Amino acid sequence: MLTEDRVKELEVLQNKFKFKFHDINLLNQSLTHKSYVNENINENLQDNERLEFLGDSVLSLIVSDYSIKRFINYSEGELTKIRAAVVSEANLSLIARELEIGRFLLLGKGEEMTGGRDKTSLLANAFEAVIAAIYLDSGYKEAFDVLINILNDKIDKVAGYGLHKDYKSELQELIQNRQSSIPQYKVSAEYGPSHEKIFEVEVIINNKVCGVGIGKTKKEAEQSAAQKVLEEFENTEFRSQNSD
């Protein structure tokens, strides 16, 4: 039985993942290192190694599933390189640090004293275990949505896709130089199931819709919309009508 304080701690981590467990014990197990189990035999605990084993496979499948749909023109070799980079121990440990997973780990005294909360391998393994816990708790679809919400920008960056130019910043700078307003972005439509959703976003300047973009994430759709407005600004007539 988890203590009230431990449940509150785990609620903080659930908020970071934007996911609510039905069985909070799965999350607790995913954060339980074998060193803690060995020092607390009477508590009848299970460590996270089995979850880590499952999480490794779930993670690879989700990244593969997302990538093959996201990068339709990429070869098998290119997709393999993307997956390898994303699921690497180094990358997963960085994500775990961003989510502050280390502070929620249950460690034995020896592991604690040797800096276990910030060990690259331990953090990467814990992240995989949490993904497995989400999968066991709520199924593949939920695990997919949670993981891609965390990883989509990182996958795109690894793939070198659509992140070489920040159209939103360029548009904002242009508009602020010409007007006192700031471009606003509004989701105008969403299509498809949650794990393959397409977003349609409008960019609004001075209460006028000046461009519409689509993408598999809101950020991608916003960048697409900003890019289209910038292309329109290359037209002299458009520029004269919107620079008052």
Q: Are residues 111 and 171 in the same domain?
A: no
pLDDT in tens, 223-240: 888 888 887 776 544 445
Same domain, 210 and 152: no
Domain end point (choices 126, 159, 192): 159
Q: What is the C-alpha to C-alpha distance for residues 91 and 211, in angstroms, rounded to an integer?
A: 35
Q: What is the CATH number of the domain that holds 11?
A: 1.10.1520.10
Element holding 203 (H helix, E strand): strand 198-205
Could you tell me if 31 and 53 lie in one domain? yes
Among this protein's residues, is 128 annotated catalytic? yes
45 and 102 part of one domain? yes
Record the pTM. Answer: 0.66
Q: Are residues 178 and 147 located together in one domain of the fold?
A: no
Kindly indicate the confidence band of residue 81, based on its pLDDT and cuts at 50, 70 and 90.
Answer: confident
Given the residues 56, 111, 137, 200, select the one marked as catalytic. Answer: 56
CATH code of the domain covering residue 207 = 3.30.160.20
How buried is residue 108: exposed, middle or buried, by Cβ count under 10 Å (0-12/13-18/19+)? middle
Residues 27 and 49 in one domain: yes
Question: Two tokens at 115?
Answer: 């800096």
Structure-token match 């939103």, residue found: 168
Selection from 244, 216, 212 nearest residue 228 by Cα? 212
Residue pLDDT, tens place only, 183-224? 999 999 887 777 667 788 999 998 899 888 887 788 888 988
* C-alpha closest to that of 132 among 27, 2, 43: 27
pLDDT confidence band for 164 (50 / 70 / 90):
very low
- 244 is an active site residue: no
Residue ending a domain, among 125, 159, 193, is 159
Provide the residue range defining the domain that includes 204. 167-241
Q: How is 28-94 classified by DSSP, letter by letter?
A: HHHTB-HHHHHH-GGG----SHHHHHHHHHHHHHHHHHHHHHH-TT--HHHHHHHHHHHTSHHHHHH
Using the 3D structure, point to which of 105, 125, 159 is the last residue of a domain.
159
- Distance of alpha carbon 37 from alpha carbon 65, whole angstroms: 35
User: What percentage of the chain carries pLDDT values higher than 70?
Assistant: 92
How far is the C-alpha of 100 from the C-alpha of 102, rounded, in Å? 5
Active-site option among 128, 137, 145, 202: 128
Is 163 a residue whose pLDDT tops 70?
A: no
